[in-house]
Amino acid sequence: MLLVAIAAIKLGLAEGTLLFDLPSGLKCAWYSLSHPAQYAVLIMTLGCLYGVNRLFDKLDSAMNARLSCATRNWMQQRREAIGM
């Protein structure tokens, strides 16, 4: 099914037609922008994606630190219970 969708998209791009309709307002707004404005939008989009990636990276690091701390505390409790 995925291969059929990819082939349909490639065929649509090769023929220069859009197989899925974009809202006409969005399409007109994008194509009426000058090239520098389009590049600016693309660069800002990449910047936003980079920012979201950094945010999730920091959240992942914090979660890893909490997990390490919780594991260390649990092991300490186990050692105390065993009497080591």
Domain-embedded: residue 9:
no
> How confident is the model at residue 18, as a pLDDT?
47
Q: What is the pLDDT, as a whole number, of residue 76?
A: 87
- Is 75 part of a structural domain of the chain? yes
pLDDT at position 2, please? Answer: 60
49 located within any domain? yes
Do the domain assignments include residue 1?
A: no
Enclosing domain of residue 48: 24-82
43 found inside a domain: yes
Domain membership flag for residue 3 = no
Domain count of the fold of the chain: 1
Q: Is the pLDDT of residue 82 over 60?
A: yes
In a domain, 13, yes or no: no
Answer whether residue 44 is part of any domain.
yes
Residue of 27, 17, 24 whose CA lies nearest to 9: 17
